[in-house]
Amino acid sequence: MKGLAVIPARSGSKGLPDKNIRPFNGKPLMAYTIEAALEASLFDEVMVSTDSPYYASLAKRYGAKVPFLRGTETSSDQAGSWEAVREVLEQYKRQGRRFDVICLLQPTSPLRTSGDIVAAYALYRERGASAVVSVCESDHPPSWYHTLPEDGCLDGFIRIKNNVQRQKAGTYYRINGAIYLADIKMIREEPVNLYQKGCFAYRMAREKSMDIDTEMDFLYAEWMAKVIAGGVFH
């Protein structure tokens, strides 16, 4: 079974400019995901999908393949990760290369380790799954969340019938964005749906589930990386 790891790293981030290559504890952010994918030793190819020649040069320095650059359409703000993945698959197909399983690894999840990737892949094989998606325990139960009207009125904000004590509410999980592992057939469907029968959750530790989108996220993730390296979490 041939596996492909795709690390999407376009250069047009507006919320946090150039976040994918911003120095994170001494290395470009995307380097951590490249290294984790390579250390997992599961994939026939670990590639970075980018529109930037400079990003490509950095990716290659850390061991990833960049056999082609993204097209204009898949580099826009409106383009999703799965559109970029389909482009990657089509480009490889033109080269006569095909894969059976794909692993999408967002570079904005630098605390995800090779061990997490290996464990998710083992779950994929053991369950004969169509897909495995990483999750982590949610901070709060769903009943604590709601939208607000413009005037900020809290009428109906807490749904009383569902507002049970946290200890009795059970454990809730959220998608953490770190690992998306799927059979190629799932990726070719439109839209991609990895949340159906035959798809399973890989539970990741909450402290490793940072998904960087803002300046605060970035600074907190850097700090958390140092905390984990210091052995606070086991």
User: Each residue of 74-125: pLDDT tens digit?
Assistant: 766 666 889 999 999 999 999 999 999 999 999 999 999 999 999 999 999 9
In contact, 12 and 77? CB cutoff 8 Å = yes
What SS3 class is residue 5? strand
90-113 burial code (b ≥16 CB/10 A, e <16): ebbeeeeeebebbbbbbbbbbbbb
CA distance 123 to 103: 13
List the chain residues with pLDDT less than 70.
Answer: 75-79, 159-169, 232-234
Handedness of CA 19, 21, 26, 30 (dihedral sign): positive
Handedness of CA 131, 1, 82, 215 (dihedral sign): positive
Looking at residue 164, its pLDDT comes to 57
How many Cα neighbours within 13 Å face the side chain of 228? 17
What SS3 class is residue 185? helix
